[in-house]
Amino acid sequence: MVLQLKRDKLFNECKRILPDSYKGALGHAMSILLWIKNKEGYAVAANQLGIASRLFVCHKISKKVGMPTDIYFNPEYKPVNNDTFISEEGCFSYPGETFHIERFKNILATYHDPRYKENKRIELSGLPAVIFQHETDHLDGIDEEALNLK
C-alpha cells in the first residue's frame, strides 16, 4: 500500500476500531509506521493518509519526549482541569505552516494498546499532551486551520 497525504479526509470522523477489525487496523498502523519512519514530525493520524480507522502512530522520536507507545487505537482524552496554553504546532497536512492553538496543559488519555488486549489510561502533560490532542482532533474530523487563533 502506498500512503499519501489526503487533506480532504481530515474532516471525516474516524470509526472506532472493534476487536474483530483489529488485525486490519494493525496492518494499517504498520504501513503508517513505515511511512512516518523518515519524516520530520512527531505523529500522524490515519485519516491524514486516507485511512478511516481511529488510530494514530508516533514517530520514533516521540518516545524521547514522553509518548508511551508508537501506536494508539481508539484514542480519547479529557482535560484534567481547565488550565490551557497556546501551543505552536506544525502539521504533516500543512507543510511549512504553523498554527497557534489553545490546548489543555494536562489531559487524561485513554487508548487501546497495539495488541488490543487492554484499554490504557495515562495522564499526559506538556508536549505529549499536545501530540495526543492534535492527533485525536484529526480523528474527530477537527482540522488545525479551524482551531488556529491566528
- Active-site positions read 135
**In the block, which residue shows the cell 482541569?**
81
